[in-house]
Amino acid sequence: MTYKVLIMSIKHLTEFLFVYVSAIENDKKSGIEAYRL
């Protein structure tokens, strides 16, 4: 039971980090595009 909760929380954290990092990358790309325009 405890291991299941631990795995779920780790999975949730990694998903959150992935979304956060991809959002930062998108911001960088859009920022570069805006600078070009």
Instruction: Return the higher-pLDDT residue of 36 and 25.
Output: 25
Q: How far is CA 5 from CA 11, 12, 13, 26, 27, in A?
A: 10, 10, 12, 31, 33
Q: Domain limits at 21?
A: 1-37
pLDDT of amino acid 26: 87
Neighbours of 19 (CB within 10 A): 10
pLDDT of amino acid 36: 67
Q: How far apart are CA 18 and CA 27, in angstroms?
A: 14
Handedness of CA 11, 13, 16, 20 (dihedral sign): negative
**pTM summary value:** 0.58
Give tens-digit pLDDT for 11-30: 999 999 999 999 888 888 88
Number of domains the chain contains: 1
User: Can you give the length of the chain in residues?
Assistant: 37
